[in-house]
Amino acid sequence: MNDFFAPAIPADKVLSDKFRVHLVKGDGMEPALRSNWDYVLLAPTDRYCGEGLYLIDIGGGEAIYRVQNIMGGKVRLKFDNPVYVTEHILGRDEFREIVLAYVVADIKVRDDRFLREPAQ
């Protein structure tokens, strides 16, 4: 995945209808992903796709969690922000009930002036 000589991903793949852009809400993934500032590119899913970041609705609203595979067919959900020490251990079936999407890419906003201007 981090192959230096890997070919570039064609823009039409990123702009595909199968992805959606989502504003990061909440500080659970800070400082890497800033609340109400950064975005993520999501691939909607209803299953575990491997370790990574996922958009999940655990019951208190949507949030991005880091999901790790653990022994016994279970997954661990946690935030990167060290303020939050709580983690959730779920079976794969439980996970399927709450997962919304897999995070494909981070979109770091560097200068929001162009995003705030009306489209021309």
Structural domain includes residue 99: yes
The pLDDT tens digits of the residues spanning 82-106 come to 999 989 999 999 999 999 999 999 9
Burial per residue of 90-101, b for 16 or more beta-carbon CB atoms within 10 angstroms, e otherwise: beeeebeebbbb
Counted domains in the chain = 1
Structural domain includes residue 13: no
Closest CA to 106 of 10, 35, 42: 42
The tokens describing 61, both together, are 């609203």
Structural domain includes residue 47: yes
Structural domain includes residue 68: yes
Burial of 42 (0-12, 13-18, 19+ CB in 10 A): buried
pTM here?
Answer: 0.86
The pLDDT tens digits of the residues spanning 31-87 come to 999 999 999 999 999 999 999 999 999 888 899 999 999 988 899 999 999 999 989
Within a 13 Å sphere around the CA of 105, how many CA atoms are in the beta-carbon half? 12
